[in-house]
Amino acid sequence: MIVECVIEDDRWLGLATLADRAAFAALSGVGLEASAFEISMLACGDTRISALNADFRQKGAATNVLSWPSSERGADVDGDMPVQPQVPQDTQLGDIAISYDTIAREAAQSGTPLVDHVTHLIVHGTLHLLGFDHVRDLDGALMEGLETEILGKLDIRDPYL
């Protein structure tokens, strides 16, 4: 498992180890051999993520995490498991961007330790790269359940309580 971190905002220094741990947990949590996959991560602030959100989602506001899967893997039926990536052809899963400003603000507002919230959002973004989503109700329930299970194995409380 390789998470290549591009640190654009110095407040993210030290992120690489946490990113590897969280992405490894997410991939392993859905039954994949995590060491076979690669993810690129941009660690930035609100200004940059706002621009990315506007360019790719036509939403001109900051957000906590964005993801760009390398392939469409989503399930056709609401609540079904997405299509699993195949080794060796699908080893590059895609890209994730995270914003320090938004994540730190959310963690402070919820009383969640920053490291726990960052871990949650990297797990969340990694699951998006694997085709999980929360647009449809059953897909959202599946994704949230997986996040809760994965985070529980990392001794992080359920972020949806």
The binding site for Zn(2+) consists of: 124, 128, 134
The amino acid that residue 131 corresponds to is G
Angstrom distance (rounded) from CA 134 to CA 154: 22
Separation of CA 48 from chain center: 17
Q: How far apart are CA 79 and CA 62, in angstroms?
A: 28
Q: CA angle, corner 73, sides to 69 and 77, nearest 5?
A: 140
Mapping DSSP to helix (H, G, I), strand (E, B) and coil, where does residue 38 land? strand
Sole residue written with tokens 């906590």: 64
Helix (H) or strand (E) holding 148: helix 137-153
What's the half-sphere exposure (Cβ side, CA atoms, 13 Å) at 45?
7
